[in-house]
Amino acid sequence: TCGICVEKCPFDAIEIINLPSELDEDPVHRYGDNAFSLYGLPTPEPGSVTGILGPNGIGKSTAVHALAGETVPNLGDHESEGEWDRVLDRFRGTGLQNYLESLKAGDITVARKPQYVDQIPNQFDGNTRELLERTDERGALDSLVERLNIRPVMDQDIDSISGGELQRVAIAACLARDADFYFLDEITPYLDIGQRMVVARLIRELADDDTAERSMLVVEHDLAILDLLADTLHVAYGEPGAYGVITDPKSVRNGINEYLKGYLDNENMRIRPSAITFEEHAPRVASRSETLIEYPDLTKSYGDGEFELHVEGGTINQSEVLGVVGPNGIGKSTLAKLFTGDLEPDTGEIDFALDISYKPQYIDIDQPMRVDAFLSSITDQFGSSYWNTEIAQPLQLDRVMEQNLSDLSGGERQRVAIAACLSDDADLYVLDEPSAHLDVEQRVRATTAIRRYAENHDATVMVVDHDIYVIDLLADRLMVFDGEPAERGHASPPQEMRDGMNEFLADLDITFRRDERTGRPRINKPGSQLDSQQKREGEYYYSG
């Protein structure tokens, strides 16, 4: 085993082992003969944040179309139009009854944040201010703009702002509305941990606002944030593209634990062959292996010192996975480019000549070329059984091989880019935000693939990511960036996980504990007893 999973690796195809009993019933909605069917619906609740956890393609948007009143579920009879009376009959006596009655009466207004914010510039011409002003139904826009730090891009054209900025603008546009039902399809892509916490707090406040009865529904793949944010959780499972089941609501802790365990207790359902486990207390103590590179203090600035990066010299060991954490705009990509030789430092000298395989944060592979042609141009291992098991399978590339690079979705493009990076023969692999756009299942598989690749090849890997679970599962040691985003950045030398996490989280003022049963990291409620105690003891991450 690779240390990520206990028994068998989740490398194997994720199969539904026993068919869900729900499938004996009629679905809530079916698109057509042999077309996708949805079983179950999430339950929005006034004053609550309801989470949905599960892979893409499993019917989450389909469910939301129904809850937004845009389609009337056909209860499996796709040849006739759905009728709300029949839907109501089906859900009478359940937690959905009240909601569906209001929906039928036309009393529900909806605000939503779409999943792929990168598409917003295609749909909107104008600047940030123009986009946001038309959404200001609660008079809360100023405060949202302030807290989401959107002010600097207010007069910029929407098609010129970065992914992280677009994400915050889209979230502000949704939360500024005055609605009964808010649906946010992923809130964390491109955001750093501090920004993720701000968004979670804003959603929480809207749910807790006593002057209105608002239901918040959030799909999210960053488990630490979902855990912090949601009151209840629906797990979604099934076979992407074929059918999806949305479970009855669970407590957030149980929902996430069952999901990680790969087994849903109430449903008596195995959804993955093996569990995903975290190392309880042990920060991985780095093995004292050979040094791969030693670099001196470095500086690099852009323009007239608009941004200045100071790197403290350090060493990267052969065959280690080095996690890299820090806020957006602090110089992480800049350091990666110094290492790759794409940038020259202003002071300090990089005297190593390493072959570096680099996956950038924003992936730009828009060539009119098929995925298989692209990947086979990178490695002559392409198609070998070794390459298939180590790379193609865990990254689920079989379904996209014949597509054109330019037609890929965000998550597909990410997986192809990770595969391309790992397929290259290099001394150092640098992956900038591999979790972006991946659903939770894909994250687990991609993390496993990267970890296994590193171990089987004695490969040295640097991974920049904002998902604490991904970093926890992957990293042997940690490199921490701090400073003032867009002004100055500082990079500490690589250090042991415990020290690195303490430095990083102290800066953010966040503490984590470990779930007793699964060992997974959980964010402590700010101001809670545990939070205060851990801060006093300086143990921000590994308590106990």
Residues that bind Mg ion (CB under 5 A): 332-333, 361
Q: How far apart are the first and last CA of the chain?
A: 27
Please give the structure tokens belonging to residue 5. Answer: 């999973």
Q: Which does 334 bind (CB under 5 to 8 A by kind): Mg ion, ligand ADP, none?
A: ligand ADP
Out of 46, 57, 121, 194, the only residue in the binding site for ligand ADP (CB under 6 A) is 57
The CA dihedral of 288, 289, 293, 294, to the nearest 10 degrees, is 30
In this structure, the chain runs to a length of 544
Q: Which does 48 bind (CB under 5 to 8 A by kind): ligand ADP, Mg ion, none?
A: none
206 or 330: CB nearest ligand ADP: 330
CB of 58 to ligand ADP, least distance (A): 4
Residues 301-330 that bind ligand ADP (CB under 6 A): 302-303, 307, 328-330
162 or 381: CB nearest Mg ion: 162
Q: What is the C-alpha to C-alpha distance for residues 512 and 501, in angstroms, rounded to an integer?
A: 10
Asked if 529 and 286 count as a contact pair (C-beta separation under 8 A), the reply is: no
Residue closest to Mg ion (Cβ): 333
Q: Which does 56 bind (CB under 5 to 8 A by kind): Mg ion, ligand ADP, none?
A: ligand ADP
The dihedral of CA 50, 54, 59, 62: what is its sign?
Answer: positive
Residues 442-481 vs ligand ADP: string with x where CB under 6 A? Answer: ----------------------------------------
Q: Does 74 bind ligand ADP (CB under 6 A)?
A: no
62 or 448: CB nearest ligand ADP: 62
Taking residue 495's Cβ as centre, other Cβ atoms within 10 Å add up to 17
Q: Does 243 bind ligand ADP (CB under 6 A)?
A: no
CB of 464 to Mg ion, least distance (A): 7
Considering only the stretches 53-61, 126-134, 259-267, 498-506, report the one whose residues sit in contact with ligand ADP under the rule CB under 6 A: 53-61
Q: What is the C-alpha to C-alpha distance for residues 170 and 229, in angstroms, rounded to an integer?
A: 18
Q: Which does 538 bind (CB under 5 to 8 A by kind): ligand ADP, Mg ion, none?
A: none
Q: Which does 241 bind (CB under 5 to 8 A by kind): ligand ADP, Mg ion, none?
A: ligand ADP
For tokens 């026993």, the residue is 18
Considering only the stretches 54-62, 379-387, 418-426, 442-450, report the one whose residues sit in contact with ligand ADP under the rule CB under 6 A: 54-62
CB of 456 to ligand ADP, least distance (A): 29
Q: In the chain, what is the greatest distance between 2 CA atoms, to the nearest angstrom?
A: 73
Q: Does 332 bind ligand ADP (CB under 6 A)?
A: yes
Q: Does 60 bind ligand ADP (CB under 6 A)?
A: yes
Q: What is the C-alpha to C-alpha distance for residues 228 and 212, in angstroms, rounded to an integer?
A: 22
> Quick one: which of 231, 228, 223 has its CA closest to 249?
231
CA geometry: angle 485, 490, 496, nearest 5 deg: 120
11 or 481: CB nearest ligand ADP: 481
Q: What is the C-alpha to C-alpha distance for residues 226 and 467, in angstroms, rounded to an integer?
A: 11
73 or 331: CB nearest Mg ion: 331
305 or 313: CB nearest ligand ADP: 305
Q: Which does 307 bind (CB under 5 to 8 A by kind): ligand ADP, Mg ion, none?
A: ligand ADP
CB of 245 to ligand ADP, least distance (A): 11
Contacts of 116 (CB under 8 A, 6+ apart): 409, 410
27 or 327: CB nearest Mg ion: 327
Out of 62, 257, 357, 460, the only residue in the binding site for ligand ADP (CB under 6 A) is 62
What is the helix, strand, coil percentage profile of the chain, to 5? 35, 20, 45
Q: Which does 303 bind (CB under 5 to 8 A by kind): Mg ion, ligand ADP, none?
A: ligand ADP
Asked if 462 and 431 count as a contact pair (C-beta separation under 8 A), the reply is: yes
> Quick one: which of 444, 510, 471 has its CA closest to 53?
444
C-alpha R_g of the chain: 23
Q: Does 59 bind ligand ADP (CB under 6 A)?
A: yes
Contacts of 153 (CB under 8 A, 6+ apart): 128, 161, 165, 169
Residues 13-52 that bind ligand ADP (CB under 6 A): 31, 35-36
Please give the structure tokens belonging to residue 258. Answer: 């069952």
Supply the DSSP string of 11-33, one letter for each residue.
Answer: TS----SS--GGGGSPPSEE-ST
The footprint of ligand ADP on this chain (CB under 6 A) covers a number of residues equal to 22
Catalogue the long-range contacts made by 333-339 (C-beta closer than 8 Å, 24 or more residues apart).
Answer: 333/360, 333/361, 333/432, 333/464, 334/300, 334/307, 334/309, 334/489, 335/298, 335/309, 335/311, 335/491, 336/430, 336/432, 336/462, 336/464, 338/298, 338/300, 338/311, 339/295, 339/428, 339/430, 339/462
CB of 332 to Mg ion, least distance (A): 5
The CA dihedral of 454, 460, 464, 470, to the nearest 10 degrees, is 30
DSSP structural state of residue 486: T
336 or 475: CB nearest Mg ion: 336
CB of 60 to ligand ADP, least distance (A): 3
CB of 387 to ligand ADP, least distance (A): 28
361 or 447: CB nearest Mg ion: 361
- In the complex, the residues that contact ligand ADP under the rule CB under 6 A are 31, 35-36, 56-62, 241, 302-303, 307, 328-334, 486
